[in-house]
Structure 1
C-alpha cells in the first residue's frame, strides 16, 4: 500500500519483485492516494511481466539521465550538462523513455519556446537528451527509441562581432587608464594577437612560455579541443608578455602565473574591468570572447588562408573557421579572375553585345 515519507508531499510505494530481487522504493509523484494505488498496481504488473516473460522493464527519464551524468563526470562541460538535464527533468520526469515519441520532443520544444528561450538553447538541451539516450542504447544496451534525431531547430548564423584596428586601439587605451589597467591592457593585446580564449590565457604558466622561440604552449587540459598547441608570438604579443614578466619580477618573482596579482595569485576574473573599458571606449555589444573573433577576422581580412587561421585558433575542424570566410572576398575575386584566364580563346559575351550595339548605331547614322 502507498505510504507517506517525512518531508515529501507525495505517496510512495514499496514493492518486492516476484523474482526476489532488491526491493523497490519509489515516489508516485502524486498527492492523490487513489492514483498512487493505481500506479502501484501498474508497476507490480510490469515487474511480473518482466519476471515471467522477460519483458524489457520501463526506463524512466531519471534513470537515463543519472546514468549519463555519472558517465560525464570527468567532462569539463559537466556543469552545463547538469543544467540542461535539469531543464529536461522539469518536463520529462516520470516519462518511460521506451514510449518517447516525436510528439513528446515537439511538445518540449514548444514548452521551452513559450518560456522565451532561444532556439540555440533548445538545441543544446535536445542534444543533451539525444546524447543521454544514445549512451543508454550503446553502453547500457537498453532498447530505447531516439526521436530527437532530425528535430533540431534551425539556428541563425553564429555571432561574429569584431573590432576595427582603431576601435581596438581605443579599447586598449581606455583599459590602461583603469585600476590595474596595465594587466588588462596586456590581456587584450595578447588576445588580439594570438586569438587565445580567456581561460587559455588566465591559466597560462611561465613554464609554458618560450621567449627565445617566441612561442607559448597551451596545455590540453586548458584548451577546448583538449589538444596541446603552440601559439606563435608576434611583436605586439611579445611586448605584452614582457610587460607581465616585468610585473612578476617586481612584485612576485616566484609566481607561476603569467596573469597574476601582486601576491602572485592567478587572476580568475577579468570581466568587470573589461566591461568598464568597453564602456569608456564607447564600444557596445562586445564580449571578451569577441577578442578572439577579432583576431580571426584580422587574419582573414589580411589574406591568411583559413587552414592557417584554423591552426592558430586551435579549431578541431575547418568548418568552425569557415564562419570568417565572408571577410575574405578577395579569395572569391581571385577565383573568378582565374576562370577568365582559361577562357581567353572564347569571345566575351559582353564584347559581342557591345559590338552589336555599335553596329546598330552606325547603321542609324547612315
Structure 2
C-alpha cells in the first residue's frame, strides 16, 4: 500500500510512499499527506501521485516542480536580505501543508481559489476553530508564493511563469487621515520624552517614516537617508520649524520604545486611533494644499513610482478646477 498511517503531535497523519523499478531504474519517493485528509482522500491523492511519478520516470510527463520547492529556493538564496525574514518564515511554515505539494506550473488558478477559501475560513481541516485571515494578509501570503515561483523561473527551476493564473484578493489599502499642525503639537506635548516629542514634529514637517527618522543623518543639505535602490542619494530638506531639533536632538530611542510612547501620547491627547504613519500622510496633505504638485510631493516622500503618490490625487480637486478654468484664456 502506498499510504501508511503515523502519529504526529498526537494527531493521525498519512504518508505516501512510492517504490518501483521503472525501465531498469529504482524510483523511490515519499511525502506527508496534508493534515486534515481522511483515509479515503489520502488514498485518492496517493494514487494520483503514483500516476504522476510513473509518468515522469517513464519520460511521459515533465518533472513536477512544487511551490514548496520554489519557496525553499527563494528563502535559501534571498532570505537573508529580507527585513521581514522572521515573520515571513513563520507565516510560510504555518501554511506549508497547503502549498507544499502544489504544482508550480499547473492548476494555480484552482489552487489559489481553494487556498484563499481556506484562509478565509473559521475552521481548519479538522473542523477545529481557527482565526480567519483578512484579504490583506491573504494577498501578502499569495504575493510571497508568487515571488518564489517567479524567482524559480529566473533561476531555471521552472519552465514557465504561470503566476498570472493565480487569483489574489484585492483589498482597500488606502487610509485617508490628514491631521493639522495643532493635532500634531497636542500629541507631542502629551509626551514627557524629548526624543518622542522631536520624532513627532519631524514626522509632520518632513513626511519621513518612523524608521527613516531614527536612522536619518543630519547634513547641511538636509536629512540624509542614504542611497536608494536606483543608486541615487535621498535627501529630505529640513523645515525651518524643526531646524533646531535637527541640530540638537540625536535619536537613541528604539523603534519599539517610540511606538509605545506614541500610543501613550496619542491617548493622552485624545486621539486613540491615530497612527504615527498618519503624520506622513498629513505632511503630504499640507504640501498639496499649499500648491505643491504631486510629482514633487512624491519626491519628498521618497515614492518609487507615481502610483504611490496618486493616493493623494483627490486632494488636488480645487487645483484641477482652477486649471480647467484657464482653458481658452490665453487667446
TM more than 0.5: yes
The CA distance in 1 between the partners of 2:224 and 2:179, in whole Å, is 26
| Aligned residues of 1:11 and 1:29 also touching (Cα < 8 A) | no
Map of 1:228 onto structure 2: 233
Query: For the Cα contact (< 8 Å) 1:209–1:215, is it kept in 2?
Result: yes
For residues 229 and 310 of structure 1, the distance between their equivalents in structure 2, rounded to whole angstroms, comes to 12
Partner SS, residue 326 of structure 2: helix
Local SS of the residue matching 2:261: helix
* SS of structure 1 residue aligned to 2:148: helix
Partner Cα distance (1:91, 1:169) in 2:
49
Equivalences for residues 93-104 of structure 1 within 5 A: 93-104=100-111
1:275 aligns with 2:263: yes
1:319 alignment counterpart: 307
**Aligned pair partner of 2:242 in 237, 244, 249:** 237
Say if 2:218 is the partner of 1:209.
yes
> Contact conserved, 2:263 with 2:272, CA < 8 A, in 1?
no
CA distance in structure 2 between the partners assigned to 1:127 and 1:267 by the alignment:
27
Which structure 2 residues correspond to residues 287-298 of structure 1 after superposition, within 5 A? 287-298=275-286
SS at match of 2:58: helix
Please say which of residues 103-112 and 83-92 is displaced more in the overlay. 83-92
Work out whether 1:110 is the aligned partner of 2:110.
no
What does the per-residue CA deviation read over 1:27-70, in whole Å, with 9 as the maximum and x for residues that have no partner?
Answer: 34579889878766765654443333262122333222212222
Distance in 2 (alpha carbons) for counterparts of 1:195 and 1:325? 17
Kindly report which structure 2 residues correspond to 1:324-339, keeping only aligned pairs within 5 A, or say none.
324-339=312-327
Partner of 1:162: 178
Match of 1:127 in 2: 143
C-alpha distance in 2 between matches for 1:46 and 1:16? 13
* Greater strand content: 2
Q: Which runs of 5+ in 2 are unaligned?
A: 123-131
Correspondences of 1:332-347 after superposition (within 5 Å): 332-342=320-330
Task: Check whether the contact 1:218–1:230 (CA below 8 A) recurs between aligned residues.
Answer: yes
1:193 aligns with 2:202: no
Contact 1:105–1:148, Cα closer than 8 Å, also in 2 = no
Q: Which runs of 5+ in 1 are unaligned?
A: 245-257, 344-366
- In structure 1, distance between residues paired with 2:15 and 2:120: 32
Specify the alignment match of 1:355 in structure 2.
none
Pairwise CA RMSD: 3.4
Shift of 1:104: 2.4
In structure 2, C-alpha distance between the alignment counterparts of 1:272 and 1:143, rounded to whole Å: 48
Equivalent residue number for residue 68 of structure 1: 74
Classify 1:96/1:173 alpha carbon distance in 2 versus 1 (closer, same or farther; 3 Å). Answer: same
Gap change, CA 1:17 and 1:97, over 3 Å in 2: farther
Match of 2:252 in 1: 260
The CA distance in 2 between the partners of 1:190 and 1:170, in whole Å, is: 14
Q: Secondary structure at the match of 1:217?
A: strand
* TM-score, normalised with respect to structure 1: 0.72
Bigger Cα displacement from structure 2, 297-306 vs 327-336: 327-336
Distance between the aligned counterparts of 1:98 and 1:326, measured in 2? 41
The answer to which of 146-155 and 187-196 deviates more is: 146-155
Q: Contact 1:4 / 1:12 at 8 angstroms: preserved in 2?
A: no
Whether the 8 Å CA contact 1:13–1:26 is kept in 2: the answer is yes
Contact 1:133-1:144 at 8 Å conserved across structures: no
The one of 51, 55, 63 aligned to 1:57: 63
TM-score by structure 2 length?
0.79
